[in-house]
Amino acid sequence: MVRIVVAPEDLYEFPYPSADLESKYPFEEMVFTRLDQRTMVERAEEFYALMDGRRSPRMFSPDPVPKRLIELAVATASTAPSGAHKQPWRFVATQNPEVKRAIRAAAEEEERVNYLENRMNEEWQEALAPLGTDHHKEFLEVAPWIVVLFEERYELRPDGQRRKNYYVKESVGIAAGMFIAALHNLGLATLTHTPTPMNFLTRLLGRPENERPFVLFPIGFPLPGVKVPALKRKPLDDVMVIVGA
């Protein structure tokens, strides 16, 4: 592949940052290593193969997981892009048995209402049927770690003033995806658990009024021999459209 070098002024009428902008705010040159095409394809195929093996077990081993691995996964997730670089997320982690037990009890009560008292409609339950899920959530107590990702609806400053955060759900959703990828890359397993409603997590984890639970992750190693649904992912042609080819 031939690399064509073009001066910025030949491509952009309005280069970024403008001289005026750079005089007001700090900028630095982007550090980027451009790889050859063969290396790019090899890395892409390796990463796809790794991530294609990701599954969501519902039986975890109680074997301990070092805190440093959780910290690294959160740090990786926090490299996600966010609206106005507000980073409107908070990863709240616990390995405390009493806290995990309380989370399980509260989650199971909400899910009991969902599954057994028809808070989930028939169509929803039909969609979940192949997964075989129910209101029992033992994994919340067995998995060595629980991490709850909270969305920061607005910034609450020390003086009590509020500052708006932008594209909160989009930003937190991207961070959640990167967290899952980071965990799998580390050799850990997780699943996305969203008991509805989730307000009990705010209370049990002592979070402030500006934070709202977004998703809960039990994290650890799969129990040896655990089974997962034999599901197939959609083929590329079903999820990608190229316009103007």
> What average pLDDT is seen over the chain?
93
- Which pTM value belongs to this model? 0.93
58-226 is a CATH 3.40.50.2300 domain = no
Provide mean pLDDT across the span 140-166: 95
CB 220 within 8 A of CB 65: yes
Which helix (H) or strand (E) covers residue 164, if one does?
Answer: strand 162-164
Identify the pLDDT of residue 2: 61
Longest dimension (CA), the chain: 65
pLDDT band at residue 30 under the 50/70/90 scheme = very high
Instruction: Write b or e for each residue in 147-165: b if 16 or more Cβ atoms lie within 10 A of its Cβ, otherwise e.
Output: bbbbbbbbeeeeeeeeeeb
Q: How far is CA 57 from the centre of its chain?
A: 16
Identify the pLDDT of residue 3: 67
* φ, ψ (nearest 5 deg) of residue 93: -110, 145
Residues 242 and 237: their CA atoms lie apart, in Å, by: 10
Reply yes or no on whether the pLDDT at 121 is more than 90: no
Angle, helix 168-186 to helix 67-77, in steps of 10 degrees? 140
pLDDT band at residue 188 under the 50/70/90 scheme = very high
Q: Where are the domains of the chain?
A: 58-226
